[in-house]
A = this chain, B = another copy of it.
Amino acid sequence: MHQGSQNEAEDGELDLGLARLDLGRGSRTGVPEAVLAEGKSDDELAVILDALVQRGQPFLATRFGEDRASRLLGGRPGLVFERRARVVHSAELPLIRNLAQVPIIVSAGTSDRGVAEEAYWTFRVSGIEAGVVADVGVAGLHRLERRIHELRRAAVILVVAGMEGALASVLAGLVPCPLIAVPTSVGYGASFGGVAALLGMLNSCAPGVTVCNIDNGFGAAAAAIKMLNMTSLSEKP
């Protein structure tokens, strides 16, 4: 199977032989540049990451295992690995946006924090500093209530929760901003790798919750960034 040489088309497509990147997606759809590491070989990833570093724009690689990081990041100073989030990002991440209201990432249990941090770094790659409220599972509702004042001022909320994922429903009944639910695979037995939380969130009795794939912190943040990009939403004069 022959492979094309590296050249970049005017619509942003970059052919690296082992892979082909769609570098125009960011400008077309408003989401940050990102690579899903899982399912790619070390060789493929190395080629992709080197090309992205060379390009000089912030980017993210998700679902990046610790072993792989130790194999690939030595001698690549342009890359930084975040262990809990399992992401690699470009070393330079300027905070280019100063929002009046920030997105807030809310997570239910300690084990959900990894997915929450994947979302956090997705915001950071887009130049946004998101708020973080961790360990406010519904089994101890007072924890959530203590933070509710802060949460009511959020621009958009990401709810990251495994097990039954009830936090999404509870929070959606309390805040006016959009709420994106991220089910996680935290749990065991009949959680079926996140299916229980996913179904719970899809069936939320509080209207207006939308849902991402299981463990998809990146996708949830990307959706939130699209909302934050809605700059001309104000009413017509």
Contact = CB atoms under 8 A, between A and B. Distances in A.
Interface string A171-204: 0111111111001011111111111111111111
Nearest to A231: B234
A-side interface size class? 35 or more
A233 B235 contact: no
Given A111-B40, A173-B141, A203 B190 contact: yes
As for how many copies of this chain the complex holds, the number is 8
Contacts of A97: 235
B139 A25 contact: yes
A100 B237 CA distance: 9
A58 interface: no
A108 to B, nearest CB: 7
Given A186-B39, A213-B188, A213-B189, A139 B236 contact: no
A55 interface: no
A132 B233 contact: no
A98 interface: yes
B99 A235 contact: yes
